[in-house]
């Protein structure tokens, strides 16, 4: 048994925000990540961080935009906690060394993205905000933080509503048991459940699945945001084309140059993401090819170096000013029910970032609120932990002897999710995917997709089991909400 104070699962912005606050206050923590330290959606984030710092802005306006994009399904207290604390937390981050893009006088530059009524998005390295923010956060860690790469958390250690750490497998294949006073789930979302996604390859719904096995409360699972503009090369997704491109004047057009958002929504190309994604999706179904027309954007390559790089790598001639796009799974608004300071229904177990559902995003997240959520609520979680005193209960884990008999491959799950729980869902078809998932429930489990024997399963099989579990839970939630709301767009029959 490895005894430790704090275990953080995941290495994205929320994980690092907790870690930085803890380590600067002399607390030790171990970060466990199944991939490399940079294997996170945060490192890939482009657009930026939304924060009411410009002179024409205030946090009440940010609050209103967040609620409007979220279809007023948000938790208003969580939204207020986020937007009202954002200016101070971001100013502290800048004072601690973070460099966002500025004009020649040193004033922050504010970009625009969908559903914001004002330019509010600060960015770094043009469209390399995630990479720059993460580099800065990593540089602020000190010797109090240990990072174990290639160590996959397989299970949470929970008994009688108390969490005492995790069970992992490391790179050498050893099964390790950690006894921790505090365990923090910062595992990201579920993007890899879909064939087209902006998410890192490691994002396979692990946190959601293990939370379910451990008895954590889950919420809003049916709300999955599709980003309208993923670079699309011959039907394959090759990375994200930031919404900031539309904020700077990019326009969605079809192969005939028709502006597809004209007359659809008052914000046109900058309508909320769920609206834009559905328009693109429906156009593609009708055989259209959709492009981002970037001809109105001056100095495109300078402002969007990362998007330019991935376009060129994939043979797009930027002088033609048209980038082929289609929507892809981007962000999970649902997840583990948690408060803004990370508390869940299990003592000693916290959830933050995309893995958590504080209700801050409602039914559809406002652009660039997710890096913000990670940094603000990550800090709240660390502060909450520093105020409390908890000693993990010592107990032996209950072993499961149930073995996996059959598993599909990842591509099969992705295809089914896109078909049945995609941008448009048909209620009469959802039972089919639930039944399909049920084929893979191992016998003799107390509950569907419960705990299985860890010694007889590879990391890859565990990921597939987690994808099945998450997909099954999402499909059930999607079936239970029979009216459309935000990113959950449901039609009774096909
Ligand atoms: C983007 O750059 O378009 C993504 C920003 C976000 O998802 O908030």
Instruction: Measure CA of the first residue to CA of the last residue in the chain; give whole Å.
Output: 53
CA of 414 to the centre of ligand 1 (A): 22
Ligand 1 nearest-atom number relative to CA 229? 3
469 CB under 6 A from ligand 1?
Answer: no
Largest CA distance in the chain: 67
Which of 202, 13, 8 is CA-nearest to residue 98? 13
Q: Is the CB–ligand 1 distance for residue 17 below 6 Å?
A: no
Q: Are residues 35 and 181 in the same domain?
A: yes
pLDDT of amino acid 434 = 98
Select from 13, 62, 69, 243 the residue to mutate for testing ligand 1; criterion: most ligand atoms less than 8 Å from CB: 243
135 and 283 in one domain? no
Q: Which of 295, 313, 328 is the last residue of a domain?
A: 328
Nearest atom of ligand 1 to the alpha carbon of 46: 2
Give the Å distance between the CA of 7 and the centre of ligand 1. 29
Residue 321 burial (CB count, 10 A): 15
Q: How many A from CA of 307 to the centre of ligand 1?
A: 12
Strands of 322-332's sheet in order across: 236-240, 224-233, 322-332, 290-293, 251-254
Cβ–ligand 1 distance for 463 under 6 Å, the answer no
- Single residue among 305, 328, 351 that ends a domain in this structure: 328
431 and 463 co-located in one domain: yes
Do 139 and 245 belong to one domain?
Answer: no
Domain contains 163:
yes
Same domain, 243 and 215: no
Domain count, the chain: 3
Residues 486 and 340 both lie in one domain: no
Ligand 1 centroid – CA 238 distance (Å): 15
Query: Pocket of ligand 1, candidates 86, 330, 366, 373: which has the most ligand atoms within 8 Å of its Cβ, to mutate?
Result: 330
Query: Do 119 and 15 belong to one domain?
Result: yes
- 419: domain CATH number? 1.20.58.100
How high is the pLDDT of residue 493? 78
| Positive/negative CA dihedral, 122, 309, 115, 118 | positive
Q: Which atom of ligand 1 is nearest to the CA of 368?
A: 8
Return the pLDDT at 244: 94
Q: Within this chain, do residues 248 and 354 fall inside the same structural domain, yes or no? A: no
Same domain, 441 and 307: no
Q: Are residues 311 and 167 part of one domain?
A: no
Catalytic site residue from 128, 157, 213, 273: 273
CATH number, domain at 301?
3.90.700.10
Ligand 1 pocket check for 243: Cβ under 6 Å: yes
Check pocket membership of 46 for ligand 1, CB cut-off 6 A: yes
| pLDDT tens, residue by residue, 438-470 | 999 998 888 999 999 998 899 999 999 999 999
Query: What residue numbers bound the domain in which 411 lies?
Result: 405-491
136 within domain boundaries: yes
Distance from residue 322's CA to the centre of ligand 1 (Å): 20
- For the Cβ of 370 lying below 6 angstroms from any atom of ligand 1, the answer is yes
CATH code of residue 12: 3.50.50.60
Is 41's C-beta closer than 6 angstroms to any atom of ligand 1?
no
Instruction: Identify the pLDDT of residue 445.
Output: 86
pTM here is 0.97
Counted residue by residue, the chain has a size of 494
Same domain? 461 vs 316: no
Active site residue 273: yes
Question: Could you tell me the two tokens for 28?
Answer: 């030790």
398 lies in some domain: no
In a domain, 400, yes or no: no
Q: What is the CA radius of gyration of the chain?
A: 22
The answer to whether position 283 is within a domain reads yes
Residue 130 lies in a domain: yes
The total of other beta-carbon atoms located within 10 Å of residue 291's CB is 22
pLDDT number for residue 226 = 97
Pocket test of ligand 1: the residue of 70, 307, 367 to mutate, having most ligand atoms within 8 Å of its CB, is 367
pLDDT at 446: 84
- The answer to whether position 399 is within a domain reads no
- Does one domain contain both 354 and 452? no
Report whether residue 42 contacts ligand 1, using a CB cutoff of 6 Å. no
* Closest atom of ligand 1 to CA, residue 114: 3
Walk along the chain (494 residues) and give the pLDDT tens digit of each residue: 999 999 999 999 999 999 999 999 999 999 999 999 999 999 999 999 999 999 999 999 999 999 999 999 999 999 999 999 999 999 999 999 999 999 999 999 999 999 999 999 999 999 999 999 999 999 999 999 999 999 999 999 999 999 999 999 999 999 999 999 999 999 999 999 999 999 999 999 999 999 999 999 999 999 999 999 999 999 899 999 999 999 999 999 999 999 999 999 999 999 999 999 999 999 999 999 999 999 999 999 999 999 999 999 999 999 999 999 999 999 999 999 999 999 999 999 999 999 999 999 999 999 999 999 999 999 999 999 999 999 999 999 988 889 898 999 999 999 999 999 999 999 999 999 999 999 999 988 889 999 999 988 999 999 999 999 999 999 999 999 999 999 999 998 77
190 within ligand 1 shell (Cβ under 6 A): no
């Amino acid at each position: 048994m490895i005894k430790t104070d704090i275990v953080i699962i995941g290495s994205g912005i929320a994980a690092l925000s907790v870690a930085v606050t803890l380590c600067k206050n002399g607390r030790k923590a171990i970060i466990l990540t199944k991939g490399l330290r940079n294997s996170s959606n945060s490192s890939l984030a482009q657009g930026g961080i939304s924060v009411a710092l410009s002179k024409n802005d205030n946090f009440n306006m940010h609050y209103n935009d967040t609620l409007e994009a979220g279809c007023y399904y948000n938790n208003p207290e969580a939204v207020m906690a986020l937007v009202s604390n954002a200016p101070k937390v971001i100013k502290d981050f800048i004072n601690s060394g973070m460099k966002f893009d500025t004009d020649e006088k040193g004033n922050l530059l504010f970009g625009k993205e969908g559903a914001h009524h004002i330019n509010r998005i600060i960015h770094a390295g043009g469209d390399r905000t995630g990479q720059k923010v993460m580099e800065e956060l990593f540089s602020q860690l000190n010797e109090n933080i240990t990072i174990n790469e290639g160590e996959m958390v397989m299970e949470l250690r929970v008994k009688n509503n108390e969490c005492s750490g995790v069970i992992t497998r490391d790179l050498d294949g050893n099964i390790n048991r950690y006894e921790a006073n505090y365990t923090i789930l910062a595992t990201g979302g579920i993007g890899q459940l879909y064939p087209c996604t902006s998410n890192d390859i490691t994002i396979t719904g692990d946190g959601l699945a293990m939370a379910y096995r451990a008895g954590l409360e889950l919420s809003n699972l049916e709300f999955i945001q599709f980003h309208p503009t993923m670079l699309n090369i011959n039907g394959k997704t090759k990375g994200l084309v930031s919404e900031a491109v539309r904020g700077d004047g990019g326009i969605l057009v079809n192969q005939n140059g028709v502006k597809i958002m004209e007359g659809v929504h008052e914000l046109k190309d900058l309508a909320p993401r769920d609206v834009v994604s559905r328009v693109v999706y429906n156009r593609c179904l009708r055989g259209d090819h959709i492009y981002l027309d970037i001809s109105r954007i001056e100095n495109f390559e300078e402002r969007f170096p990362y998007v330019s790089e991935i376009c060129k790598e994939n043979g797009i001639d930027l002088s033609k000013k048209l980038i082929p796009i289609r929507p892809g799974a981007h962000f999970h608004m649902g997840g583990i029910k948690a408060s803004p300071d990370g508390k869940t229904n299990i003592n000693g177990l916290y959830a933050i970032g995309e893995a958590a559902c504080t209700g801050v995003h409602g039914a559809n997240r406002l652009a660039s609120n997710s890096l913000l959520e990670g940094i603000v609520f990550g800090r709240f979680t660390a502060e909450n932990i520093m105020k409390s005193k908890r000693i993990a209960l010592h107990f032996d884990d209950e072993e499961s002897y149930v073995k996996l008999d059959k598993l599909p491959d990842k591509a099969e799950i992705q295809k089914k999710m896109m078909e049945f729980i995609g941008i448009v869902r048909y209620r009469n078809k959802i039972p089919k995917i639930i039944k399909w998932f049920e084929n893979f429930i191992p016998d003799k489990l107390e509950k569907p997709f419960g705990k299985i024997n860890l010694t007889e399963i590879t990391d890859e099989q565990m990921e597939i089991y987690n994808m099945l579990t998450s997909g099954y839970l999402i499909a059930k939630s999607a079936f239970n909400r029979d009216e459309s709301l935000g990113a959950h767009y449901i039609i009774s029959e096909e």
